[in-house]
Chain A
Amino acid sequence: MSNAQIEIQLIASLVAIACAIPGTFLVLRKMAMISDAISHSILPGIVVGFFITQDLNSPLLILLAALTGVITVVLVEYIQKTGLVKEDTAIGLVFPVLFSIGVLMIAKKANDVHLDIDAVLVGELALAPFDRLLISGVDVGPKSLWVIGSILIITIVLLLAFFKELKLSTFDKGLAASLGFSPVIIHYGLMTVSSITTVGAFDAVGAILVVALMIAPAATAYLLTTDLKKMLIFSIVFGIFSAISGYWLAHGLDASIAGSISTVLGLLFLLVYLFAPNKGVIAVLYREKQQRIEVSLLTFLLHLKNHDEENERHVNHLNEHINWQKVRSKTVLELALKNNMIVINHKIVSLTSKGDEFTTKAIDYIITNEDAQIEDMKDDFFLFRG
């Protein structure tokens, strides 16, 4: 590995961490699309800053762009507050307009300067190591490494300092407000940090990858855990993993680094989406199927309990009576037999004493709907485990 390669991977990993932290909170606060809006609408801020400083890495530019990001959030909230349109429409209106203004400003004024919308949108990580930061003539590393590094440090300091407040206001706004933490300040603080991170990461990886790095690791982690600290750690790990493996994928295909990092993120999400132990699609589908069968089982047992007459308990009759088209009655019969809930004599089904007891309990549960009643049943009955 050459020096430049290491530097690229380092920058990518730092960006991934810096994005994963605010991203986790954005996902939890249901504001993921705000990050998309910010990443587009900071364009006019960048353009104005660029006209003033003529330098894509100047701190003024980052400040101006972050300011535009916060303005976006304020605008969205203002439009939403008028009640004329819903929140999502407000987001969808504000950022394309700001983005258009940015594009037109570039087209009008910056034709012959180095500011390319493509680069802004997609970024070029491969070029990042060539823009060096010189301090009194000494080369101290790539500029973007310093930019993203300082943003990351600020983010981590803020996270550690305000972790409790962030956590509380994310999960229980009302409690946070009543305890005296202003949710508004935390909200705008988070928005400011997101804007600054977006701007800082922008130059290196482009607007879209910023969104991918903010949302995808957090969403993937959210499928695996419901613990905030674990979720933060998971999303940071996922971010770093995809940053580094994405770099090597891009290296192999000779394609855009930002693109391949998001592709890796996408594959990672797909894997977790399908196979996550509790919340993955396969687990959910399996659980739904189990629950369907068990609802049928319960219906079946209740039916048996309600009817003493033999013709109602004949095996063939059950098929038509309880209207089981979807779940085969055979599965249910076998399940009930296996659990010793029923006995079959000459094709007449009757409840055993265990089945009778179970059904009585189930009726109790359905009528009273009290958890305490079925506490002991939860072990052998899937349905009530939720």
Chain B
Amino acid sequence: MDIQDYFSLVFTDYTLRTITLGTAILGAVTGMLGSFAVLRKQSLLGDAISHAALPGIAISFLITGAKDSNTLLLGALVSGLIGTFWIRGIVTKTHLKSDTALGLILSLFFGFGMLLLTFIQKQPNANQAGLDKYLFGQAATLVESDVWMMAIVTGICLFVLLLFWKEFKILLFDKDYAKTLGFNTKAIDILITSFIVLAIVLGLQTVGVVLMSAMLLAPAAAARQWTNSLATMVFLAAIFGAFSGVFGTAISASQNNLSTGPVIVLVAAVFVLISFIFSPSRGLLFKQIRFIKNRRDLELHKTLAFMYNIAETHDDISHPHEIKILNSFQGYTKGTLKKLVEKDYVTLKGSTWSLTDEGFKSALNLYNQLTRNDE
């Protein structure tokens, strides 16, 4: 099946439609909430929480004995939240730093989860197979009810986000100010963190424990490059996330042996790469271009200023001088001279140059501007 077949099948084939919708919604909601995680410098929280959710899945299976994905995700949510608040406890109450706390919770919870999973596998219960899909995620196991679940959670997220937009925003950028205004920063903090945990848990079934952090970060990191406005960033991140989901599913469906989760992550990474390089204001490419342009301008100005200093000593500013007296230390290259001629600042006659009136004037201004800047 190639990509074209895929797009014609999306609207007719039940499985494909479900998976595409599911990954798209997931991408959108993680992108949305991921923006907050990235801006709050909690990027790795996603990684820690997704690992910390594993024992919750195992325990809720042990208790209920059922593989209903909603029950399992509820368990994951609870253990994810416990992990989050323990991380917070470690950071606030001890001198251990946040990276240590994250790594601790991540590995210890995950190890405990693995203990439980292997313990479950030895149980004489035929129902237990398939719990390990949460490790790497299997988008193929999504059914319509899962997608509905995701849609509902996304709806709630969107609603809460719009309702508390002002509070979230102020907490994000100026916590102390929010406190002085009388907002209950602790409650808002817990609310936003809980939603981040919720989004992570939602994605476990689709992309799995290991890759969930990238789902959370990549769209947000890409969106960050294009804008300085929170609203635009959240919106863009949701779009990037949704497109990563759709393209990832399309690519993995059109090839054999490509699991969906990693492909989605790689697509999202391509978005990040493109944003890093091509974003107009922050991107590496335009930064480099601006850098080169600035250097050229500087060379041009230096040459002009040098010429001005020479011309100043003569009564007649258009008195010709040898090109030889210019050197690269004053920013002179053949290029700059040519540019100056193009701008009509300088006229060339054989091996001599002379400043035009216009050139003299702009050099004078340049000089004034410089001195004014110096002051």
Contacts and interface: CB of A to CB of B under 8 A. Distances in A.
Interface stretch (A83-91, A295-303, A362-370): A83-91
A256 B115 contact: yes
Interface stretch (B90-98, B147-155, B188-196, B366-374): B90-98
B301 interface: no
Given A92-B43, A107-B258, A118-B135, A254 B122 contact: yes
Contacts of B225: 84
A93 B107 contact: no
Interface in B102-131: 102-104, 106-119, 122
Interface residues of A, number: 63
Nearest to B210: A99
Contact of B210 (A33, A79, A96, A111): A96
Contact of B111 (A99, A117, A258): A258
A137 to B, nearest CB: 36
A282 B132 CA distance: 37
A371 to B, nearest CB: 21
B18 interface: no
Contacts of A261: 111
A215 B103 contact: yes
A97 B269 contact: yes
A122 interface: yes
A256 B132 CA distance: 14
Given A92-B214, A97-B266, A208-B111, A259 B118 contact: yes
B257 A99 contact: no
Of B115, B269, B284, most buried by chain A (CB within 10 Å of CB) is B115
Nearest to A97: B269
A334 to B, nearest CB: 28
The 7 closest A-B pairs by CB, nearest first: A262-B111, A259-B115, A96-B214, A212-B107, A100-B262, A259-B114, A266-B108
Contacts of A281: 89, 93-94
Contacts, number: 198
Given A30-B97, A209-B107, A101 B266 contact: yes
Nearest to A79: B276
Contact of A107 (B44, B108, B259): B259
A90 to B, nearest CB: 8
B284 A91 contact: no
Contacts of B97: 30, 32
**What is the interface residue range for chain B against chain A?**
35 or more
A222 interface: yes
Contact of A262 (B47, B108, B122): B108
Interface stretch (B71-79, B216-224, B341-349, B352-360): B216-224
Nearest to A280: B94
B176 interface: no
Q: From DSSP, what is the main secondary structure of chain B's interface residues?
A: helix
Interface string B197-228: 00000000000001101101110010011000
A181 interface: no
Q: From DSSP, what is the main secondary structure of chain A's interface residues?
A: helix
Contact of A122 (B108, B114, B218, B261): B114
Interface of B: 38, 41-44, 46-47, 51, 89-90, 93-97, 99-100, 102-104, 106-119, 122, 132, 135-136, 210-211, 213-214, 216-218, 221, 224-225, 257-259, 261-263, 265-266, 269, 272, 276, 282, 284
B38 A89 contact: yes
5 contacts: A36-B106, A215-B104, A219-B104, A255-B118, A273-B94
A259 B41 contact: no
Given A32-B102, A85-B221, A219-B96, A255 B115 contact: yes
Contacts of A27: 96, 100
A266 B136 CA distance: 24
Given A92-B217, A99-B210, A118-B135, A260 B93 contact: no
A35 interface: yes
